[in-house]
Amino acid sequence: MSTDAFHLDGKRAVVTGGASGIGQAIALTFGARGASVHILDLDEAGAQATAQQILHGGGAAVAHGCDVTHEAEVERVFGEIQKQGRIDIVVNNAGVAHIGNVETTTGEDFDRIYRVNVKGVYHCMRAGIGRMKEGGGGVILNMASVAASVGIADRFAYSMSKGAVLAMTYSAAKDYAAHNIRVVSISPARIHTPFVDGFLRDNYPGREEEMFDKLSATQPVGRMGTPQEVADLALYLCSDQATFATGTDYPIDGGFLRLNT
């Protein structure tokens, strides 16, 4: 995708989970396209590193250490950001993964996934939407997953959480369309991030290359996606060129959903 036509000049964007992976790519892309980017992450040092990359490129960025599972903490950080001006964009990217089926997923596992992937998104949507109403509108972009729409082995709790993200996206889009607030989601298939490398290293020592090729082949195009490809789609959806887009999920999956048989 050519992103030359898409700009976020004058926009203030909040990106959760911006210290690495997809969130970092989104934050860097938004910063390069004129947005003032606020990066929220539990890894404050990683968030600072992302912010420094934006600043070194001539953009505007601020890092915030934030645990999205804590509502009061999210509200505090959003309040600090609002003091600098209206919030135009919230990207809910922070999330954690889990491997396991219903029998191997403990109650503690389930609760952890729910707290981060569901309540974390809820906390940031609630903090963002109220302020966007006051400011005359905005965009909420939630990171869902192909796991929300199809069965993937050993992803029980993760699939649950991303299904909830999808449902929250549709519901909020309906409720706030009249307030000039667009709510959309992106559903990636497998994206090559540091998490993937760590997962392979921890679970398949000595077989990393073999398993990487196997996971890549689950996409009909024969490879994983890149964080930048997701970031380019996020840029479009959060730009003024996408004002007709709301209440819709956008798969970016190398054909995973429609071409696998």
Using left for φ > 0, alpha for ψ between -120 and 50, and beta otherwise, residue 252 falls in beta
Token digits for 136? 């005359």
Statement to judge: residues 132 and 174 lie in one domain: yes
The CA distance from 51 to 14, in Å, is 12
The CA distance from 55 to 59, in Å, is 5
Q: How far is CA 155 from its chain centroid?
A: 18
Residues 174-186, mean pLDDT to the nearest whole number? 98
Q: Identify whether the C-beta of residue 78 lies closer than 8 Å to the C-beta of residue 103.
A: no
Q: Dmax over Cα atoms in the chain, in whole Å?
A: 55
Dump the DSSP string for 150-175: S--TTBHHHHHHHHHHHHHHHHHHHH
Closest CA to 234 of 19, 9, 28: 28
Residues 146-150, mean pLDDT to the nearest whole number? 95
Q: Work out whether strand 249-252 and strand 181-188 pair parallel, antiparallel, or are unpaired.
A: parallel
| Structural domain for 196, as ranges | 191-224
The per-residue pLDDT for range 97-107, each reduced to its tens digit, is 999 999 999 99
Q: Is the per-residue pLDDT at 2 higher than 90?
A: no
Statement to judge: residues 105 and 215 lie in one domain: no
The CA distance from 44 to 59, in Å, is 19
pLDDT at residue 203, rounded to an integer:
82
Average of per-residue pLDDT values in the chain: 95
Query: Is 5 within a domain?
Result: no
Query: Is 1 within a domain?
Result: no
Statement to judge: residues 129 and 170 lie in one domain: yes
Statement to judge: residues 162 and 198 lie in one domain: no
Statement to judge: residues 109 and 214 lie in one domain: no
The per-residue pLDDT for range 73-89, each reduced to its tens digit, is 999 999 999 999 999 99
Residues 108-120, mean pLDDT to the nearest whole number? 98
Statement to judge: residues 59 and 145 lie in one domain: yes
Statement to judge: residues 131 and 196 lie in one domain: no
Of these residues, 158, 170, 204, 236, which one is catalytic? 158
What percent of the chain lies above the pLDDT cut of 70? 98
Residues 110-116, mean pLDDT to the nearest whole number? 98
Q: Identify whether the C-beta of residue 168 lies closer than 8 Å to the C-beta of residue 142.
A: yes
Query: Is 3 within a domain?
Result: no
Query: Is 260 within a domain?
Result: no
Query: Is 6 within a domain?
Result: no
Query: Is 131 within a domain?
Result: yes
pTM: 0.95
Statement to judge: residues 137 and 201 lie in one domain: no
Q: How many structural domains are present in the chain?
A: 2
Q: Is the per-residue pLDDT at 166 higher than 90?
A: yes
Instruction: Please tell me which residue, 3 or 57, carries the higher pLDDT value.
Output: 57
pLDDT at residue 4, rounded to an integer:
63
Q: pLDDT band at residue 261, thresholds of 50, 70 and 90?
A: low
Query: Is 139 within a domain?
Result: yes
pLDDT at residue 1, rounded to an integer:
45
Query: What single DSSP character describes residue 247?
Result: S
Statement to judge: residues 185 and 196 lie in one domain: no
Q: Which amino acid is located at 198 in the chain?
A: G
The CA distance from 74 to 94, in Å, is 12
Statement to judge: residues 76 and 175 lie in one domain: yes
Query: Is 259 within a domain?
Result: no
Strand extents, DSSP E, the chain: 12-16, 36-41, 60-65, 89-92, 138-143, 181-188, 249-252
Q: Is 236 a catalytic residue?
A: no
Q: Identify whether the C-beta of residue 64 lies closer than 8 Å to the C-beta of residue 40.
A: yes
Statement to judge: residues 184 and 64 lie in one domain: yes
The per-residue pLDDT for range 28-71, each reduced to its tens digit, is 999 999 999 999 999 999 999 999 999 999 999 999 999 999 99
The CA distance from 184 to 204, in Å, is 35
We report the CATH number of the domain holding residue 154 as 3.40.50.720
Statement to judge: residues 31 and 120 lie in one domain: yes
Q: Is the per-residue pLDDT at 145 higher than 50?
A: yes
